[in-house]
Structure 1
Protein backbone atom coordinates (compact mmCIF):
# COMPACT_ATOMS: atom_id res chain seq x y z
CA UNK A 1 0.00 0.00 0.00
CA UNK A 2 1.28 3.44 -0.92
CA UNK A 3 1.94 6.02 1.76
CA UNK A 4 -1.43 7.43 2.96
CA UNK A 5 -0.21 11.03 2.71
CA UNK A 6 1.00 10.45 -0.84
CA UNK A 7 -2.36 8.93 -1.79
CA UNK A 8 -4.20 11.85 -0.26
CA UNK A 9 -2.09 14.40 -2.13
CA UNK A 10 -2.58 12.54 -5.40
CA UNK A 11 -6.32 11.89 -5.23
CA UNK A 12 -7.87 14.49 -2.93
CA UNK A 13 -8.03 18.29 -2.80
CA UNK A 14 -9.01 20.30 0.28
CA UNK A 15 -9.31 23.95 -0.67
CA UNK A 16 -10.41 25.47 2.65
CA UNK A 17 -9.87 24.78 6.36
CA UNK A 18 -12.37 22.93 8.52
CA UNK A 19 -13.11 23.12 12.22
CA UNK A 20 -12.18 20.28 14.54
CA UNK A 21 -14.92 17.68 14.45
CA UNK A 22 -16.45 18.98 11.21
CA UNK A 23 -18.16 16.31 9.09
CA UNK A 24 -16.30 15.17 5.98
CA UNK A 25 -17.95 15.50 2.58
CA UNK A 26 -16.18 13.66 -0.27
CA UNK A 27 -17.13 15.06 -3.69
CA UNK A 28 -17.15 13.04 -6.93
CA UNK A 29 -16.97 15.10 -10.17
CA UNK A 30 -19.04 14.52 -13.32
CA UNK A 31 -17.75 13.16 -16.64
CA UNK A 32 -15.05 15.52 -17.90
CA UNK A 33 -15.01 17.33 -14.56
CA UNK A 34 -12.24 17.89 -12.05
CA UNK A 35 -11.82 18.50 -8.33
CA UNK A 36 -11.80 22.28 -8.82
CA UNK A 37 -15.50 22.23 -9.75
CA UNK A 38 -16.24 21.91 -6.03
CA UNK A 39 -14.07 24.86 -4.96
CA UNK A 40 -17.12 27.17 -4.55
CA UNK A 41 -18.91 24.52 -2.50
CA UNK A 42 -15.87 24.11 -0.27
CA UNK A 43 -15.70 27.87 0.25
CA UNK A 44 -19.41 28.09 1.08
CA UNK A 45 -19.37 25.24 3.63
CA UNK A 46 -16.02 26.01 5.32
CA UNK A 47 -15.22 25.76 8.18
CA UNK A 48 -18.31 23.82 9.27
CA UNK A 49 -17.71 21.02 6.74
CA UNK A 50 -14.46 19.47 5.57
CA UNK A 51 -14.92 19.25 1.80
CA UNK A 52 -12.59 16.82 0.01
CA UNK A 53 -12.78 16.82 -3.79
CA UNK A 54 -11.59 13.81 -5.75
CA UNK A 55 -9.15 14.38 -8.59
CA UNK A 56 -9.54 11.54 -11.07
CA UNK A 57 -6.55 10.55 -13.23
CA UNK A 58 -6.12 12.27 -16.59
CA UNK A 59 -7.09 15.87 -15.77
CA UNK A 60 -5.52 19.10 -14.52
CA UNK A 61 -2.42 18.24 -12.47
CA UNK A 62 -2.96 14.50 -13.24
CA UNK A 63 -3.24 14.96 -17.00
CA UNK A 64 -0.13 12.86 -17.69
CA UNK A 65 -1.90 9.79 -16.29
CA UNK A 66 -4.26 7.65 -18.39
CA UNK A 67 -7.97 8.31 -18.02
CA UNK A 68 -9.78 5.35 -16.48
CA UNK A 69 -12.35 3.86 -18.84
CA UNK A 70 -13.78 1.25 -16.45
CA UNK A 71 -15.99 2.72 -13.74
CA UNK A 72 -15.76 -0.39 -11.56
CA UNK A 73 -11.97 -0.30 -11.66
CA UNK A 74 -11.99 3.40 -10.76
CA UNK A 75 -14.34 2.73 -7.83
CA UNK A 76 -11.91 0.04 -6.63
CA UNK A 77 -9.07 2.56 -6.66
CA UNK A 78 -11.04 5.26 -4.88
CA UNK A 79 -12.25 2.88 -2.18
CA UNK A 80 -8.66 1.88 -1.44
CA UNK A 81 -7.59 5.53 -1.29
CA UNK A 82 -10.38 6.54 1.08
CA UNK A 83 -9.74 3.54 3.34
CA UNK A 84 -6.05 4.38 3.61
CA UNK A 85 -5.96 8.19 3.51
CA UNK A 86 -9.18 9.54 5.07
CA UNK A 87 -10.01 9.00 8.73
CA UNK A 88 -13.43 8.84 10.34
CA UNK A 89 -16.97 8.82 8.95
CA UNK A 90 -17.73 10.37 5.56
CA UNK A 91 -20.63 11.50 3.41
CA UNK A 92 -20.41 11.24 -0.38
CA UNK A 93 -21.70 13.83 -2.86
CA UNK A 94 -21.60 13.06 -6.58
CA UNK A 95 -22.96 14.69 -9.72
CA UNK A 96 -23.80 12.80 -12.92
CA UNK A 97 -21.09 10.16 -13.46
CA UNK A 98 -19.86 11.08 -9.99
CA UNK A 99 -23.13 9.83 -8.51
CA UNK A 100 -22.69 6.35 -9.94
CA UNK A 101 -19.05 6.36 -8.87
CA UNK A 102 -19.98 7.48 -5.33
CA UNK A 103 -22.54 4.69 -5.13
CA UNK A 104 -20.10 2.02 -6.30
CA UNK A 105 -17.40 3.29 -3.94
CA UNK A 106 -19.85 3.19 -1.03
CA UNK A 107 -20.75 -0.40 -1.89
CA UNK A 108 -17.10 -1.39 -1.74
CA UNK A 109 -16.57 0.25 1.63
CA UNK A 110 -19.79 -1.26 2.97
CA UNK A 111 -18.50 -4.72 2.10
CA UNK A 112 -15.29 -4.35 4.16
CA UNK A 113 -13.95 -3.23 7.52
CA UNK A 114 -15.08 0.34 6.72
CA UNK A 115 -18.70 -0.77 6.44
CA UNK A 116 -20.10 1.82 8.82
CA UNK A 117 -17.97 4.79 7.72
CA UNK A 118 -20.23 6.01 4.93
CA UNK A 119 -23.00 7.88 6.75
CA UNK A 120 -24.99 8.75 3.64
CA UNK A 121 -24.97 9.58 -0.06
CA UNK A 122 -26.16 12.71 -1.84
CA UNK A 123 -26.54 11.85 -5.54
CA UNK A 124 -27.24 14.45 -8.21
CA UNK A 125 -28.10 14.43 -11.89
CA UNK A 126 -27.98 10.68 -12.45
CA UNK A 127 -30.35 7.80 -12.98
CA UNK A 128 -30.64 4.94 -10.52
CA UNK A 129 -28.48 1.97 -11.56
CA UNK A 130 -31.51 -0.28 -12.20
CA UNK A 131 -32.56 1.96 -15.11
CA UNK A 132 -31.10 1.39 -18.54
CA UNK A 133 -30.51 3.68 -21.53
CA UNK A 134 -28.50 2.74 -24.59
CA UNK A 135 -25.96 5.55 -24.96
CA UNK A 136 -23.05 5.75 -27.40
CA UNK A 137 -21.60 9.24 -27.02
CA UNK A 138 -18.16 7.68 -26.43
CA UNK A 139 -18.30 6.22 -29.96
CA UNK A 140 -18.86 9.57 -31.67
CA UNK A 141 -16.17 11.61 -33.37
CA UNK A 142 -14.66 14.56 -31.51
CA UNK A 143 -17.25 17.02 -32.80
CA UNK A 144 -20.04 14.72 -31.67
CA UNK A 145 -18.70 14.47 -28.13
CA UNK A 146 -18.33 18.25 -27.88
CA UNK A 147 -21.86 18.68 -29.22
CA UNK A 148 -23.21 16.48 -26.42
CA UNK A 149 -21.31 18.39 -23.74
CA UNK A 150 -22.68 21.72 -25.00
CA UNK A 151 -26.20 20.26 -25.16
CA UNK A 152 -26.02 19.50 -21.45
CA UNK A 153 -24.10 22.63 -20.43
CA UNK A 154 -24.56 25.54 -22.82
CA UNK A 155 -22.23 27.63 -20.70
CA UNK A 156 -19.32 25.50 -21.92
CA UNK A 157 -19.79 26.42 -25.59
CA UNK A 158 -17.46 29.41 -25.66
CA UNK A 159 -14.72 27.56 -23.80
CA UNK A 160 -14.89 24.48 -26.01
CA UNK A 161 -14.79 26.63 -29.15
CA UNK A 162 -11.09 27.17 -28.40
CA UNK A 163 -9.27 24.36 -30.30
CA UNK A 164 -6.48 24.14 -27.71
CA UNK A 165 -8.91 23.70 -24.81
CA UNK A 166 -11.06 21.27 -26.77
CA UNK A 167 -8.01 19.19 -27.67
CA UNK A 168 -6.97 19.07 -24.02
CA UNK A 169 -10.32 17.92 -22.64
CA UNK A 170 -11.44 15.53 -25.40
CA UNK A 171 -9.40 12.53 -24.17
CA UNK A 172 -10.88 12.99 -20.70
CA UNK A 173 -14.40 13.31 -22.05
CA UNK A 174 -14.10 10.25 -24.27
CA UNK A 175 -12.62 8.18 -21.45
CA UNK A 176 -15.23 9.26 -18.91
CA UNK A 177 -18.12 8.71 -21.33
CA UNK A 178 -16.71 5.26 -22.06
CA UNK A 179 -16.64 4.47 -18.34
CA UNK A 180 -20.16 5.63 -17.62
CA UNK A 181 -21.83 4.37 -20.80
CA UNK A 182 -20.36 0.86 -20.53
CA UNK A 183 -21.12 0.64 -16.80
CA UNK A 184 -23.47 -2.07 -15.59
CA UNK A 185 -24.25 -2.65 -11.90
CA UNK A 186 -23.20 -5.93 -10.37
CA UNK A 187 -25.09 -8.09 -7.94
CA UNK A 188 -23.85 -7.83 -4.39
CA UNK A 189 -23.84 -5.42 -1.50
CA UNK A 190 -26.97 -3.42 -0.75
CA UNK A 191 -26.48 -0.13 1.05
CA UNK A 192 -27.77 0.47 4.57
CA UNK A 193 -27.06 4.21 4.76
CA UNK A 194 -29.57 6.93 3.75
CA UNK A 195 -29.58 8.15 0.15
CA UNK A 196 -30.64 11.66 -0.86
CA UNK A 197 -31.18 12.42 -4.56
CA UNK A 198 -31.16 15.85 -6.20
CA UNK A 199 -32.36 16.36 -9.76
CA UNK A 200 -33.26 19.08 -12.25
CA UNK A 201 -36.85 19.21 -13.50
CA UNK A 202 -35.69 19.71 -17.12
CA UNK A 203 -32.70 17.35 -17.15
CA UNK A 204 -32.75 15.38 -20.43
CA UNK A 205 -30.56 12.73 -18.82
CA UNK A 206 -32.81 11.91 -15.85
CA UNK A 207 -36.59 11.56 -15.56
CA UNK A 208 -38.35 11.78 -12.20
CA UNK A 209 -38.91 8.01 -12.30
CA UNK A 210 -35.25 7.34 -13.08
CA UNK A 211 -34.13 9.57 -10.21
CA UNK A 212 -36.56 7.81 -7.87
CA UNK A 213 -35.05 4.45 -8.81
CA UNK A 214 -32.17 5.19 -6.41
CA UNK A 215 -34.59 4.25 -3.61
CA UNK A 216 -34.06 0.62 -4.55
CA UNK A 217 -30.33 0.74 -3.72
CA UNK A 218 -30.60 1.07 0.06
CA UNK A 219 -32.37 -0.23 3.13
CA UNK A 220 -31.89 3.20 4.69
CA UNK A 221 -33.96 6.35 4.34
CA UNK A 222 -34.53 7.85 0.90
CA UNK A 223 -35.30 11.43 -0.12
CA UNK A 224 -35.78 13.00 -3.56
CA UNK A 225 -35.64 16.76 -4.17
CA UNK A 226 -36.23 18.47 -7.52
CA UNK A 227 -34.81 21.85 -8.56
CA UNK A 228 -35.53 24.07 -11.56
CA UNK A 229 -33.09 23.51 -14.41
CA UNK A 230 -31.39 21.04 -16.68
CA UNK A 231 -28.48 18.66 -16.24
CA UNK A 232 -26.32 21.32 -14.62
CA UNK A 233 -29.18 22.84 -12.61
CA UNK A 234 -26.84 23.08 -9.61
CA UNK A 235 -24.85 25.91 -11.23
CA UNK A 236 -27.87 28.23 -11.20
CA UNK A 237 -29.28 26.76 -7.99
CA UNK A 238 -26.01 26.87 -6.03
CA UNK A 239 -27.45 28.40 -2.87
CA UNK A 240 -30.39 25.99 -2.72
CA UNK A 241 -28.14 23.00 -3.39
CA UNK A 242 -25.69 24.09 -0.69
CA UNK A 243 -28.60 24.39 1.75
CA UNK A 244 -29.81 20.90 0.81
CA UNK A 245 -26.34 19.50 1.41
CA UNK A 246 -26.10 21.14 4.83
CA UNK A 247 -29.52 19.72 5.70
CA UNK A 248 -28.54 16.23 4.59
CA UNK A 249 -25.21 16.38 6.41
CA UNK A 250 -27.00 17.33 9.62
CA UNK A 251 -29.46 14.46 9.21
CA UNK A 252 -26.78 11.91 8.34
CA UNK A 253 -24.48 12.86 11.22
CA UNK A 254 -27.18 13.31 13.89
CA UNK A 255 -26.77 10.71 16.68
CA UNK A 256 -29.40 8.03 16.56
CA UNK A 257 -32.06 8.20 19.24
CA UNK A 258 -31.96 5.39 21.78
Structure 2
Protein backbone atom coordinates (compact mmCIF):
# COMPACT_ATOMS: atom_id res chain seq x y z
CA UNK A 1 0.00 0.00 0.00
CA UNK A 2 1.23 3.52 -0.76
CA UNK A 3 3.62 5.04 1.76
CA UNK A 4 3.86 1.73 3.59
CA UNK A 5 0.57 2.31 5.42
CA UNK A 6 -1.49 -0.81 5.96
CA UNK A 7 -4.73 -1.40 7.80
CA UNK A 8 -8.33 -2.61 7.77
CA UNK A 9 -11.45 -2.08 9.84
CA UNK A 10 -9.92 -4.40 12.44
CA UNK A 11 -6.38 -3.04 12.36
CA UNK A 12 -5.76 0.70 12.63
CA UNK A 13 -3.82 2.13 9.69
CA UNK A 14 -0.31 2.84 10.84
CA UNK A 15 3.17 3.02 9.41
CA UNK A 16 4.73 -0.45 9.56
CA UNK A 17 8.19 -1.00 11.04
CA UNK A 18 10.06 -3.02 8.40
CA UNK A 19 13.07 -3.57 10.67
CA UNK A 20 11.03 -5.03 13.54
CA UNK A 21 11.77 -8.70 14.03
CA UNK A 22 8.31 -9.56 15.35
CA UNK A 23 4.79 -8.17 15.22
CA UNK A 24 2.70 -8.09 18.41
CA UNK A 25 -1.09 -8.05 17.89
CA UNK A 26 -2.82 -6.75 21.03
CA UNK A 27 -6.47 -7.36 21.94
CA UNK A 28 -8.18 -5.29 24.66
CA UNK A 29 -10.25 -6.14 27.71
CA UNK A 30 -14.05 -5.81 27.72
CA UNK A 31 -15.19 -2.27 27.02
CA UNK A 32 -11.75 -1.03 26.00
CA UNK A 33 -10.26 -0.31 22.60
CA UNK A 34 -7.02 -0.08 20.67
CA UNK A 35 -6.03 3.04 22.60
CA UNK A 36 -5.35 0.85 25.66
CA UNK A 37 -2.03 0.01 23.95
CA UNK A 38 -1.13 3.46 22.61
CA UNK A 39 1.98 3.75 24.82
CA UNK A 40 3.35 0.31 24.06
CA UNK A 41 5.13 0.99 20.76
CA UNK A 42 7.31 3.73 22.20
CA UNK A 43 8.07 1.65 25.29
CA UNK A 44 8.90 -1.59 23.45
CA UNK A 45 11.03 0.11 20.81
CA UNK A 46 11.61 -0.57 17.11
CA UNK A 47 12.34 -4.29 17.49
CA UNK A 48 8.65 -5.08 18.05
CA UNK A 49 5.84 -3.71 15.87
CA UNK A 50 2.80 -3.20 18.11
CA UNK A 51 -0.52 -3.56 16.27
CA UNK A 52 -3.57 -2.87 18.44
CA UNK A 53 -6.71 -4.62 17.22
CA UNK A 54 -9.73 -2.39 16.69
CA UNK A 55 -12.91 -4.18 17.80
CA UNK A 56 -16.39 -3.01 16.70
CA UNK A 57 -18.52 -0.80 18.94
CA UNK A 58 -15.81 1.54 20.25
CA UNK A 59 -13.46 4.36 19.27
CA UNK A 60 -13.08 4.56 15.46
CA UNK A 61 -15.63 1.74 15.06
CA UNK A 62 -18.23 3.17 17.43
CA UNK A 63 -20.98 2.91 14.80
CA UNK A 64 -20.31 -0.79 14.16
CA UNK A 65 -22.45 -3.27 16.05
CA UNK A 66 -20.41 -4.93 18.85
CA UNK A 67 -20.20 -8.72 18.66
CA UNK A 68 -21.27 -10.76 21.68
CA UNK A 69 -19.65 -14.15 21.00
CA UNK A 70 -16.13 -15.43 20.40
CA UNK A 71 -16.81 -17.24 17.13
CA UNK A 72 -17.81 -14.33 14.85
CA UNK A 73 -14.94 -12.19 16.14
CA UNK A 74 -12.40 -14.94 15.44
CA UNK A 75 -13.96 -15.67 12.05
CA UNK A 76 -13.88 -12.01 10.94
CA UNK A 77 -10.58 -10.98 12.52
CA UNK A 78 -8.21 -13.87 11.78
CA UNK A 79 -8.03 -13.26 8.02
CA UNK A 80 -7.06 -9.56 8.22
CA UNK A 81 -4.66 -10.31 11.06
CA UNK A 82 -2.83 -13.02 9.13
CA UNK A 83 -2.76 -10.81 6.03
CA UNK A 84 -1.08 -8.09 8.09
CA UNK A 85 1.37 -10.59 9.66
CA UNK A 86 4.28 -10.41 7.22
CA UNK A 87 6.90 -11.73 9.65
CA UNK A 88 6.91 -13.79 12.90
CA UNK A 89 4.05 -12.59 15.07
CA UNK A 90 2.78 -12.94 18.62
CA UNK A 91 -0.62 -12.41 20.23
CA UNK A 92 -1.35 -10.52 23.45
CA UNK A 93 -4.71 -10.10 25.12
CA UNK A 94 -6.03 -9.01 28.49
CA UNK A 95 -9.15 -10.59 30.03
CA UNK A 96 -11.67 -10.89 27.14
CA UNK A 97 -8.77 -10.11 24.82
CA UNK A 98 -6.85 -13.07 26.24
CA UNK A 99 -9.72 -15.40 25.40
CA UNK A 100 -9.92 -14.02 21.86
CA UNK A 101 -6.14 -14.31 21.47
CA UNK A 102 -6.26 -17.96 22.53
CA UNK A 103 -8.95 -18.80 19.98
CA UNK A 104 -7.23 -16.80 17.22
CA UNK A 105 -4.05 -18.74 17.97
CA UNK A 106 -5.93 -22.00 17.39
CA UNK A 107 -7.43 -20.69 14.15
CA UNK A 108 -4.03 -19.43 12.97
CA UNK A 109 -2.55 -22.88 13.66
CA UNK A 110 -5.40 -24.48 11.72
CA UNK A 111 -4.56 -22.20 8.77
CA UNK A 112 -0.89 -23.14 8.96
CA UNK A 113 0.26 -19.76 10.35
CA UNK A 114 1.02 -20.30 14.07
CA UNK A 115 2.14 -17.37 16.20
CA UNK A 116 5.56 -17.56 17.81
CA UNK A 117 4.11 -16.73 21.23
CA UNK A 118 0.71 -16.41 22.93
CA UNK A 119 0.68 -13.97 25.86
CA UNK A 120 -2.50 -14.00 27.94
CA UNK A 121 -3.30 -11.66 30.83
CA UNK A 122 -5.93 -11.46 33.53
CA UNK A 123 -7.72 -14.71 32.68
CA UNK A 124 -7.94 -18.22 34.06
CA UNK A 125 -7.01 -21.05 31.69
CA UNK A 126 -9.58 -21.24 28.90
CA UNK A 127 -10.51 -24.87 29.66
CA UNK A 128 -10.65 -24.50 33.46
CA UNK A 129 -12.40 -21.24 34.25
CA UNK A 130 -14.47 -20.66 37.38
CA UNK A 131 -18.15 -21.28 36.52
CA UNK A 132 -20.13 -18.07 35.98
CA UNK A 133 -22.59 -17.59 38.84
CA UNK A 134 -23.86 -14.14 37.94
CA UNK A 135 -23.95 -13.17 34.28
CA UNK A 136 -22.83 -9.58 34.40
CA UNK A 137 -23.93 -8.93 30.83
CA UNK A 138 -27.54 -9.53 31.89
CA UNK A 139 -27.49 -7.18 34.91
CA UNK A 140 -29.66 -4.05 35.03
CA UNK A 141 -27.78 -0.89 34.15
CA UNK A 142 -27.15 0.30 37.71
CA UNK A 143 -25.89 -3.12 38.86
CA UNK A 144 -23.70 -3.51 35.79
CA UNK A 145 -22.14 -0.12 36.48
CA UNK A 146 -21.41 -1.14 40.08
CA UNK A 147 -19.85 -4.39 38.89
CA UNK A 148 -17.48 -2.59 36.54
CA UNK A 149 -16.64 0.07 39.13
CA UNK A 150 -15.67 -2.67 41.62
CA UNK A 151 -13.30 -4.24 39.09
CA UNK A 152 -11.75 -0.86 38.36
CA UNK A 153 -12.77 -0.91 34.72
CA UNK A 154 -13.97 2.69 34.86
CA UNK A 155 -13.01 5.44 37.31
CA UNK A 156 -15.17 6.04 40.43
CA UNK A 157 -16.51 9.28 38.97
CA UNK A 158 -18.31 7.23 36.29
CA UNK A 159 -21.55 7.84 38.21
CA UNK A 160 -21.21 11.54 37.47
CA UNK A 161 -21.50 11.13 33.69
CA UNK A 162 -24.66 9.06 33.05
CA UNK A 163 -24.86 10.09 29.37
CA UNK A 164 -21.37 8.78 28.66
CA UNK A 165 -22.04 5.61 30.62
CA UNK A 166 -25.22 4.99 28.60
CA UNK A 167 -23.17 5.14 25.39
CA UNK A 168 -20.53 2.79 26.81
CA UNK A 169 -22.71 0.07 28.37
CA UNK A 170 -24.08 -1.67 25.22
CA UNK A 171 -20.54 -2.42 24.03
CA UNK A 172 -19.53 -3.50 27.52
CA UNK A 173 -22.53 -5.87 27.72
CA UNK A 174 -21.60 -7.44 24.41
CA UNK A 175 -17.97 -7.82 25.49
CA UNK A 176 -18.91 -9.40 28.81
CA UNK A 177 -21.19 -11.82 26.96
CA UNK A 178 -18.17 -12.92 24.89
CA UNK A 179 -16.52 -14.29 28.02
CA UNK A 180 -19.62 -15.39 29.92
CA UNK A 181 -21.10 -17.46 27.08
CA UNK A 182 -17.78 -18.98 25.95
CA UNK A 183 -17.55 -22.77 25.87
CA UNK A 184 -14.13 -24.37 25.51
CA UNK A 185 -13.75 -26.98 22.76
CA UNK A 186 -11.32 -29.84 23.37
CA UNK A 187 -8.43 -29.72 20.89
CA UNK A 188 -4.81 -30.71 20.56
CA UNK A 189 -2.64 -28.44 22.75
CA UNK A 190 -1.24 -25.47 20.89
CA UNK A 191 2.23 -25.89 19.30
CA UNK A 192 2.86 -22.37 20.60
CA UNK A 193 4.57 -21.24 23.83
CA UNK A 194 2.18 -19.58 26.29
CA UNK A 195 3.09 -16.82 28.73
CA UNK A 196 0.34 -16.05 31.25
CA UNK A 197 0.22 -12.90 33.40
CA UNK A 198 -2.18 -11.83 36.14
CA UNK A 199 -2.54 -9.42 39.02
CA UNK A 200 -1.75 -11.12 42.30
CA UNK A 201 -4.96 -9.76 43.88
CA UNK A 202 -7.24 -10.11 40.86
CA UNK A 203 -10.64 -11.24 42.26
CA UNK A 204 -11.55 -12.82 38.90
CA UNK A 205 -8.54 -15.17 38.76
CA UNK A 206 -8.17 -18.33 40.85
CA UNK A 207 -4.41 -18.94 40.89
CA UNK A 208 -4.84 -22.72 40.54
CA UNK A 209 -6.96 -22.33 37.44
CA UNK A 210 -4.55 -19.68 36.16
CA UNK A 211 -1.62 -22.12 36.36
CA UNK A 212 -3.57 -24.55 34.15
CA UNK A 213 -2.61 -22.53 31.05
CA UNK A 214 0.39 -24.88 30.92
CA UNK A 215 -2.00 -27.70 29.94
CA UNK A 216 -3.03 -25.90 26.73
CA UNK A 217 0.36 -25.96 25.02
CA UNK A 218 2.85 -28.65 24.05
CA UNK A 219 5.58 -25.98 24.14
CA UNK A 220 7.00 -23.96 27.01
CA UNK A 221 4.58 -22.32 29.46
CA UNK A 222 5.41 -19.48 31.84
CA UNK A 223 3.23 -17.82 34.47
CA UNK A 224 3.83 -14.47 36.19
CA UNK A 225 1.88 -12.91 39.06
CA UNK A 226 2.37 -9.16 39.35
CA UNK A 227 1.18 -6.65 41.97
CA UNK A 228 -2.35 -5.39 41.46
CA UNK A 229 -5.92 -6.44 40.76
CA UNK A 230 -7.73 -7.06 37.46
CA UNK A 231 -6.64 -3.85 35.74
CA UNK A 232 -3.00 -4.00 36.79
CA UNK A 233 -1.52 -3.42 33.32
CA UNK A 234 -1.04 0.35 33.47
CA UNK A 235 0.54 0.43 36.93
CA UNK A 236 2.80 -2.54 36.11
CA UNK A 237 3.50 -1.63 32.48
CA UNK A 238 7.34 -1.64 32.79
CA UNK A 239 7.31 -5.14 34.31
CA UNK A 240 4.77 -6.39 31.76
CA UNK A 241 6.77 -5.04 28.83
CA UNK A 242 10.00 -6.50 30.24
CA UNK A 243 8.33 -9.92 30.26
CA UNK A 244 7.08 -9.43 26.71
CA UNK A 245 10.54 -8.42 25.51
CA UNK A 246 12.07 -11.48 27.16
CA UNK A 247 9.73 -13.96 25.45
CA UNK A 248 9.91 -12.28 22.03
CA UNK A 249 13.72 -12.29 21.77
SS of corresponding position for 1:197: strand
SS of corresponding position for 2:51: strand
Indicate the larger mover: 161-170 or 33-42.
161-170
* Deviation sequence 1:203-236 (CA, Å, 0-9, x none): 0000211211111111010001111110011221
SS of corresponding position for 2:41: helix
Q: Which residue of 1 aligns with 2:58?
A: 59
- Residue 126 of structure 1, aligned match among 123, 128, 131: 123
Write the distance in 1 (CA, Å) between the matches of 2:152 and 2:66.
22
1:179-190 superposed matches below 5 A: 179-190=178-189
Write the distance in 1 (CA, Å) between the matches of 2:186 and 2:147.
31
Distance 1:160 1:246, change over 3 A: farther
Indicate the larger mover: 126-135 or 218-227.
126-135
C-alpha displacement of 1:21 = 3.5
1:89-100 superposed matches below 5 A: 89-100=88-99
Aligned-residue Cα RMSD (Å) equals 2.0
Q: Which residue of 2 aligns with 1:101?
A: 100
Write the distance in 1 (CA, Å) between the matches of 2:238 and 2:103.
28
SS of corresponding position for 1:26: strand
Write the distance in 2 (CA, Å) between the matches of 1:29 and 1:160.
23
Q: Which residue of 2 aligns with 1:24?
A: 23
Q: Which residue of 1 aligns with 2:167?
A: 168
Write the distance in 2 (CA, Å) between the matches of 1:46 and 1:25.
12
Q: Which residue of 2 aligns with 1:144?
A: 143
C-alpha displacement of 1:6 = 10
SS of corresponding position for 1:185: coil
Q: Which residue of 2 aligns with 1:222?
A: 221
Write the distance in 1 (CA, Å) between the matches of 2:83 and 2:19.
20
Write the distance in 2 (CA, Å) between the matches of 1:184 and 1:236.
31
Structure 1: runs of 5 or more not aligned: 251-258
Q: Which residue of 1 aligns with 2:41?
A: 42
Verify the 8 A CA contact 1:34 1:59 in the aligned structure 2: yes
The question of 1:83 aligning with 2:82 is answered yes
Verify the 8 A CA contact 2:21 2:88 in the aligned structure 1: no
C-alpha displacement of 1:86 = 2.7
Q: Which residue of 2 aligns with 1:232?
A: 231
Write the distance in 1 (CA, Å) between the matches of 2:212 and 2:15.
34
TM-score normalised per structure 1: 0.88
Indicate the larger mover: 78-87 or 207-216.
78-87
Verify the 8 A CA contact 1:95 1:126 in the aligned structure 2: yes
Verify the 8 A CA contact 1:38 1:53 in the aligned structure 2: yes
Distance 1:94 1:153, change over 3 A: same
Structure 2: runs of 5 or more not aligned: none
Distance 1:20 1:160, change over 3 A: farther
SS of corresponding position for 1:11: coil
